[in-house]
Structure 1
Amino acid sequence: MTSAPSISTVGQLRASGHEHKGLRTEIRDNLLARLAAGEDPWPGLHGFEDTVIPQLERALIAGHDLVLLGERGQGKTRLLRTMVGLLDEWTPVIEDSELGEHPYEPVTHESRRRAAELGDELPVTWRHREDRYAEKLATPDTSVADLIGDVDPMKVAEGRSLGDPETIHFGLIPRSHRGIVAINELPDLAERIQVAMLNVMEERDIQIRGYVLRLPLDLLVVASANPEDYTNRGRIITPLQDRFGAEIRTHYPRELEAEVAVIRQEAGLVAEVPDALLEVLARFTRNLRDSSAVDQRSGVSARFAIAGAETIAAAALRRATRLGESDAVARVVDLDTAVEVLAGKIEFETGEEGRETDILTHLLRTAIAETVREHFRGLDMGLLVTAIEDGATVTTGGEVSAHDVLDGLPVLGESELYDDVCDRLFDRAELSDGRRACAIELALEGLFLARKIGKDTDGRETVYG
């Protein structure tokens, strides 16, 4: 953040050559400048580059209010919040004005009076773009007063008459004048509350009780909604839907790399989670989205995989702390902990009661097998399979250290198979016991899923043999 300009009066502002732009012009100019410079206006968003982002940019260039439609966990809110970056970093406002009006265009009775009295000495302050974004989660108990405004009984008690426009307490939308107002889960707003937004969306003014109050509001209204809300919990009323210039459908990442990037970016990991395990979680999540046993109308949020990554990182840190390991690295054995705690985040189809854990376990194994094929394709593991067939076993588990796993591996003579396995996932110069154990466990699990070796689990230990 840079420092705010030092200009403090409207006279100084005019002398500086400052020009006032409407909000939509400001957003359009900044967006076009970013695109012309080859900069990414949407940092941190993955998987929307060829679908959602072009639609969104066209809507903003056209100056349209917009609504994002998509299932839970598709990044709708993050996308709305990223729009703040298209505002000017600092913008002048009339000091102490209730609605943050531009010094050249006061809109409230009080600000116009002060501008007429003070002229070029009207005090100016500066507002950062982060303060020009307001967000409201629509809930059934949201009132017209919350969004639009109401008569303030305290001001009436001070002696003002009910007909005095200064008795009005403005709601969220007028207070977002010259900024962006975002309403999450718009269909959850009661229909009568949506009606109150009609004038704001079209005529750009507000109506409060019996007042005829013409405020030329300059704001951008954006909203998010789940498509199912149109028929289940609520709906966007037709006149309000008609006032949005653009309806944009979001989606889950269509490429595996984008899914992994979202997990890596959003997860707060307390231990190292190798990319291969994040890939397993990403494939697991995508398998759930394709499964006929899962209710796809509610979707499978990206937060599912994010919470899974955080869970297995926590399992790794717990093990490292209990066993005195110097580095905490998640391993394949930790993936089961994610299944144990995340089942409640998935809505299954009717008729699948009692089979939830089996379904999750099957889809997780499918994800592991796909990851093993991707990374270990062409690698001959015959020596390891032969050693296990001859009676060798490998013991691992949530309470078994990486050092103990490595110590228990069968000796393969002069073979460099274990190093070759690790090379498929990690740089050999940066190998640790935790990383080696992770790579070899993934290979062993792949052999088990391919029915080359057996596996026995008692809850504390897992034995491949």
Structure 2
Amino acid sequence: MTQARTLGEFKKSGAKTVNVKEEMRRNLIRKLESGETLFPGILGYDESVVPQVANAVLSRHNMILLGLRGQAKSRLLRSLTNLLDPALPIVAGCEIHDDPLRPLCRRCRDLVQERGDETPLFWLSPDDRLVERAARGGHDLASELTMHYGLLPRAHRGIFALNELPDLAGRIQVGLFNILQEGDVQIKGYPVRLPIDVSMVFTANPEDYTARGKIITPLKDRIGSEIRTHYPATVEQGVAITQQEAWTERGRELRVPRYIREVAEGIAFAARRDKKIDKRSGVSQRLPITALENAISNAERRAVLRKETMVVPRVSDIYAALPSLTGKFELEYEGELMGADNVARELIRASVGEAFSVYLGSADLRPVVAYFEAGGNLKLRDDASSGDMVAQLRKVPGLFEALSHLGIGGGEPTPVTASAAEFVLEGLYGQKKIGRSDDRGFVAPERHSDADIDLEKLERLRRMKKQVN
């Protein structure tokens, strides 16, 4: 349909305007009937969060998403614009997106009365109808014509998204009562009450939301649906999200082995289980995304230095990505004693060990382990070229025979072979079947007697006590 340029043209078209929640409900039903994806780019929520959001929209509820950081809450809220009409007519120049058939503000009422069917219209896109920040301030002017509207009135006929609701001051929370229950808002300093047509959506951390005194109880009562988000349920889901979000197109030929993707993802899963990391803060899904990007960058830098045309990340590149890991989690007391870098290295090692079990759990690697137990060692440089690395790795008997478990044959490019062979050694180290030292590289595993282990525990307790005192 051609977009009407004036109020008269709009009336002649026979089109009507509807309440924003009814508009979202209608478009949601149409998408469900046609089998369309409701929220493109939102992965891992099809069986949990998305149905609950759909139910809230069908119920015409205001809603809140409760979840830890990095669970795509803000992205999901922004995706609600997919349920808005492609274009919405407003009175041209209106700050609050006035309905040309039912104008609210004084300016638009006067304009329609003065120009009638010649009143000019403007059409808003769905993205123009999303407002995401809290309103501030106001003016001391008393005339309705000089009134400055806050962000909430500017969300009229759209979606108002407020992130981290518990951080909102109590007096402002009280100010939301009317819009949530009665659907109107009072402009501070003016004898004006505006009936606002808006869908209200919020986000919050579950612990803050349930903490006494953070949220005024009547405000909770006025929010129709409370939906809990979550981290990916499986490594496969996480890999799919990271693959979608990570920036990997760098201009050079790039091959990211599947096991490298799973190692990067497994770090987040290991961190969410680790007692040294604060569960209340969560471990953002941004962790594996930035880890993979940084690992690729390290591999890219090496390829440029060694004049290699193909970029293939290795496990050592993930260890080089520590700066992208340590800011993504909060440490408990024991973790603080160890230090963020050491905790991150432990997480990488655990993740490599788990990925190794998946791919090489059935491989016969006894010759490899025997080589190191017999006194062999292998020190690999992080910036070694693929050719040099493969030449060094060939010293280890039985190593390259195991690569078939990774789908690596004799015809693979050298960078791919180097990455796979290093993964085998890193996996054995992750499972503590071989050791590794800064001076000698991969070596025989350390053997601890029960007495040694007890002494280590006592020393750790002594250090912790000293720290407390």
**TM-score, structure 2 as length reference:** 0.86
Q: Structure 1, residues 286-325: CA drift from partner, whole Å, max 9, x if none?
A: 1111122211111111122222112211211121122222
SS in 2 for 1:92: strand
- SS across alignment from 2:160: strand
Q: Tell me which residue corresponds to 1:278.
A: 261
Offset at 1:21? 1.6
Structure 2 residue 164 is the aligned partner of structure 1 residue 185: yes
- TM-superposed deviation, 1:233: 11
CA separation of 1:312 and 1:232: change in aligned 2, threshold 3 A: farther
Tell me, yes or no, if structure 1 residue 435 matches structure 2 residue 416: yes
Give 1:305's match in structure 2, choosing from 282, 288, 303. Answer: 288
Partner of 2:361: 377
Distance 1:46 1:327 in 2: 30
Q: Which moved more, 1:353-362 or 1:412-421?
A: 412-421
Q: Work out which of the residue numbers 274, 278, 303 in structure 2 matches 1:291.
A: 274
Q: Tell me, what secondary structure is at the counterpart of 2:23?
A: helix
Q: 1:395: Cα distance to partner?
A: 4.5
Matched AA of 1:200: I
Quote the residue 2:392 is aligned against: 408
- Determine which of 64, 67, 72 is the counterpart of 1:67: 64
Structure 1 segment 62-101 matched on structure 2, within 5 A: 62-101=59-98
Mapped partners of 1:412, 1:318: distance in 2: 27
CA shift at 1:191, angstroms?
0.6
Q: 2:52 aligns with which of 52, 55, 64?
A: 55
- Quickly say closer, same or farther: Cα 1:28–1:175, change in 2 above 3 A: same
Please list the CA deviations of residues 214-264 of structure 1 after superposition, one character each: whole Å capped at 9, or x if unmatched.
322111111101122247797221122211111111111112211112222
1:346 pairs with one of 318, 329, 333: 329
What is the aligned partner in structure 2 of residue 206 from structure 1? 185
Per the alignment, residue 46 of structure 1 pairs with: 43
Name whichever of 63-72 and 406-415 sits farther off: 406-415
Moved more, 204-213 or 16-25: 204-213
Code of the aligned partner of 2:338: R
| 1:235 and 2:210 aligned | no
Aligned to 1:329: 312
Aligned residue-pair number? 439
Counterpart Cα distance in 1 of 2:277 and 2:443: 31
**1:355/1:7 CA distance change after superposition, 3 Å:** same
- d(CA) in 1 for partners of 2:73, 2:399: 51
Change (3 A) 1:415 1:292: closer
**Structure 2 unaligned runs (5+)?**
445-469
* Residue identity opposite 1:321 in structure 2: V
The answer on whether the counterparts of 1:66 and 1:245 sit within 8 Å (CA) in structure 2 is yes
**Cα distance in structure 2, aligned partners of 1:234 and 1:265:** 39
- After superposition, the Cα gap between the structure-2 partners of 1:316 and 1:177, relative to the gap in structure 1 and judged at 3 Å, is same
Check the 8 A contact 2:166/2:204 in 1, yes or no: yes
1:196 aligned onto 2:175: yes
Q: Is the aligned partner of 1:14 residue 2:11?
A: yes
Q: Does residue 398 of the first structure (1) align with residue 377 of the second (2)?
A: no
Match of 1:249 among 204, 222, 228: 228
Counterparts of 2:365 and 2:117, CA distance in 1: 82
Partner of 1:359: 343
**Whole-angstrom CA distance in 1 between matches of 2:126 and 2:374:** 68
Match of 1:264 in 2: 243
- The answer on whether the counterparts of 1:393 and 1:410 sit within 8 Å (CA) in structure 2 is no
8 Å contact kept, 2:187–2:193: no
Task: Give 3-state SS (helix, strand or coil) of 1:98's partner.
Answer: coil
User: How far apart are the structure 2 equivalents of 1:336 and 1:192?
Assistant: 48
SS of 1:311 mapped into structure 2: helix
- Whether the aligned pair in 2 keeps the contact of 1:106 and 1:112 (CA below 8 Å) is yes
2:195 equivalent to 1:216: yes
1:342-392 deviation digits (Å, cap 9, x = unpaired): 224321212443213443333322211110111123233345556666777
Distance across 1 between alignment mates of 2:47 and 2:410? 36
Question: 2:450 corresponds to which residue?
Answer: none
**Does residue 131 in structure 1 map to residue 119 in structure 2?**
no
Partners in 1 of 2:119 and 2:130 — Cα distance? 25
SS at match of 2:40: coil
Deviation of the 1:34 alpha carbon? 0.8
Q: Which moved more, 1:217-226 or 1:445-454?
A: 445-454
* Match of residue 105 from structure 1: 102
Report the Cα distance in structure 2 between the residues aligned to 1:445 and 1:346, rounded to whole angstroms: 24
The residue identity in structure 2 corresponding to 1:345 is K
49-58 or 315-324, which deviates more: 315-324
1:199–1:206 CA contact under 8 A, matched in 2 = yes
Secondary structure of 1:125's aligned partner:
strand
Stretch moving more, 65-74 or 317-326: 317-326
On the 8 A contact 1:421/1:443 being kept in 2, the answer is no
SS class of match (1:240)? helix
Letter of the aligned partner of 1:108 in structure 2? C
Aligned partner of 1:457 in structure 2 is 438
Question: Is the contact made by 2:325 and 2:344 (CA closer than 8 Å) also made in structure 1?
Answer: no
2:148 paired residue number: 169
- Structure 1 residues 194 and 349, CA, compared in 2 at 3 Å: closer, same or farther? same
